[in-house]
Amino acid sequence: MDLKSLRRIAKDRLKDDLVMKGEGIYRQELGAEIKLSMTGVKECINQPFCLYVDKLNLLIKGLEEALATAKHLGYTDYQTHPKPHVLGYHYFETEIGGKTAYFNVQVTVQKQYFLYSITERLHWDPNI
């Protein structure tokens, strides 16, 4: 299947199954659910990743389990591109196609949690 089709399938699946239904993935560390927004869905799809097809396949079938079982690394208020509605980010480590990947979860001023991106590297040092 071509990339354009995979991207569309991933976007439609996340929109229909999670965004529109308001479904979230509960994380005990947060005491809350991580939700998805269309902004976050687009960012997750568009963010470069060395195993891009594997990332799209995870979004299509497996995001909920991967996010529910990812290792929580911690929180930072550091933002590479500051947004007034965002307090900071929680980072979770997972694997996609055998490659380490990170879920970036935004914490908003309303104390809501949204999956914002999936990246290959952290934007902070959890050992600091």
Per residue in 102-120, pLDDT (tens digit) is: 999 999 999 999 999 999 9
Per residue in 46-99, pLDDT (tens digit) is: 999 999 999 999 999 999 999 999 999 999 988 888 888 999 999 999 999 999
| 15 pLDDT higher than 70 | yes
CA angle 65, 14, 12 (to 5 degrees): 145
> Which DSSP category does 15 fall into?
I
Q: What is the spatial distance between Cα 57 and Cα 97, in angstroms, rounded to a whole number?
A: 10
CB 75 within 8 A of CB 116: no
Per-residue confidence band for 34, with pLDDT thresholds at 50, 70 and 90: very high
Domain segments of the chain: what residues? 3-119
State the pLDDT at residue 75.
93
State the pLDDT at residue 19.
96
State the pLDDT at residue 78.
83
State the pLDDT at residue 125.
63
Where are the extended beta strands (E) located within the chain? 24-27, 32-35, 71-76, 86-96, 99-108, 113-119
Stretch 23-40: mean pLDDT: 96
Q: Beta strands 32-35 and 24-27: pairing type?
A: antiparallel
Q: What is the spatial distance between Cα 19 and Cα 13, in angstroms, rounded to a whole number?
A: 9
**Which bin fits 46, alpha (ψ -120 to 50), beta or left (φ > 0)?**
alpha
Instruction: Give the number of other CB atoms < 10 A from CB of residue 87.
Output: 14
CB 107 within 8 A of CB 75: yes
Q: Which of 31-35, 43-47, 83-87, 119-123 is the least confident region?
A: 119-123
| 128 pLDDT higher than 70 | no
